[in-house]
Amino acid sequence: MENEELEQAKDKAFNEVKLIPVDSLVMPSLSGVVALFIGKDGRVIANVSDFNTSGYGGFSLQQAQEMRVKRSLAHEVFKSLSSPLIFDAIDTYDAQKIMDSMCSRCGCRVEIIAVGHEA
């Protein structure tokens, strides 16, 4: 008797389920940037992304994300190309300067891709 009542309760609960159309759902929007450091041979050496929603005063969210991602990318480039000793010893300013020099002198380039930002 208990099993029969349990089955009836399951059937009733299943029949009361309401389906919600997908287009009526509010989907969260993501906004961020992805940065790639590409060697002169076209190979991706390092990549980073920033989807943090906090900004800096006076800058748009996209500008703030681009600033953060450029700093992070410089460290990732050194992590990929150097020994752990050099990676641990270099600071952000020097890493960015050397990365910029690699772009201007060695044919490397930085590509920044905006994701979810208005054009």
State pLDDT tens for residues 33-70. Answer: 999 999 999 999 999 999 998 888 899 999 999 999 99
pTM for the complete prediction? Answer: 0.72
pLDDT at position 108: 96
The residues spanned by each domain of the chain are 28-115
pLDDT at position 100: 95
Nearest-CA neighbor of 38 among 83, 99, 93? 99
Mean pLDDT of 2-13: 68
CA 26 vs CA 19, 23, 29, 51, 96: distances in Å: 15, 8, 9, 19, 40
Q: Which residues on neighbouring strands pair with residue 37, listed in sequence order?
A: 46, 110
Would you say 111 and 36 are in contact if contact means Cβ atoms under 8 Å apart?
A: yes
pLDDT for residue 4 is more than 60: yes
Q: What angle do CA 34, 40, 41 make, to 5 degrees?
A: 95
Higher pLDDT, 28 or 37: 37
Return the residue matching tokens 């800058």: 59
